[in-house]
Amino acid sequence: MKKLILLLFITPLFVFAQNNPNAEYWQINRWEAKEGMAKEFESAVAKKTKKFNNTQETAILTFRIVTGPDSGKYMRVVGPKSGEFFNQSLSDSEEYAYWVKNVMPYVKDQAGNKRTARVKGLSYNWDNSEAPKKYVEFTTIRLNPGEGRDWFSMMRNDAELKKANGFTGIRGVFWLVSGGQDEMHVVEPYDSHGVRKGVFSDPDFDYTDSYNEMFGWRARTYTEMNAGMSIRDYGGIITETLEFIPEMSTSIE
């Protein structure tokens, strides 16, 4: 029965599409400023955001990527959205024309849009009404084709355990539905590098003992081992630190 429940939980993850009426979608893209024009790019984006993205419906968040191969680039995030949001055509809009005229002169490169859907069963303490944190640990996970079940199982168990024991950290898990190869994004916002991203309500809480008690003898060892084997050997895990830039993001009082 437990195996059947797990299969029922995992199967829908592989049928995410942009026409899923129940999904919560987020769109991200990456931008690189021309050499020596980072300040001009930031100023132009800030002005555009203030002019066109000043409501909850049009909100955009901007982060600076501070670690990894893309350090120095920017990530722009739109969401949460329903599937109907993508019916809009922005290429002939005033907003798009403004971007082309006033921002693109400072752009060296862009990675293109990626559309993702949040997997709520693998996330915890995620609240779309809260203000953005100062930093984000952004981890991209690429799984071997057909071998993702153990990774999903581990993430589901981890979320269930943390929810049941008052863990204070925040995690959003997102499935890429369009814009690249199959991958997951694990997003963990926090406010300071000098403190833990979350703590349990009981300071003496033993994660391993509780995990094994909840999911079976030596469950943590086996699930983590199997989950690791389901991740691609090359480029399977990429972890980046993002820094929130309020001036380039929507501010709603």
Separation CA 84–CA 25 (nearest Å):
10
For 112, the token pair is: 């293109």
171 neighbors 123 (Cβ within 8 angstroms): yes
At 211-239, the pLDDT tens digits run: 999 999 999 999 999 999 999 999 999 99
> Of 186, 65, 64, 63, whose CA–CA distance to 123 is shortest?
186
Answer yes or no: is pLDDT of 7 > 60: no
219, two tokens: 């469950």
Pairs from 6-15 (Cβ < 8 Å, separation ≥ 24):
6/149, 6/153, 6/156, 9/121, 9/152, 9/156, 10/148, 10/149, 10/152, 10/153, 13/119, 13/148, 13/152, 13/175
- Assign domain 2-248 to its CATH architecture: 2-Layer Sandwich (3.30)
The tens digit of pLDDT for each residue in 32-57 reads 999 999 999 999 999 999 999 999 99
Parallel/antiparallel/unpaired status of strands 107-110 and 114-118: unpaired
Q: What is the pLDDT of residues 91-146, one digit of tens each?
A: 778 999 999 999 999 999 999 999 999 999 999 999 999 999 999 999 999 999 88
What is the reported pLDDT for 103?
98
Give the up-direction half-sphere exposure of residue 169: CA atoms within 13 A in the CB hemisphere: 21
Q: Tokens 């024991």 label which residue?
A: 165
Enter the pTM of the model: 0.91
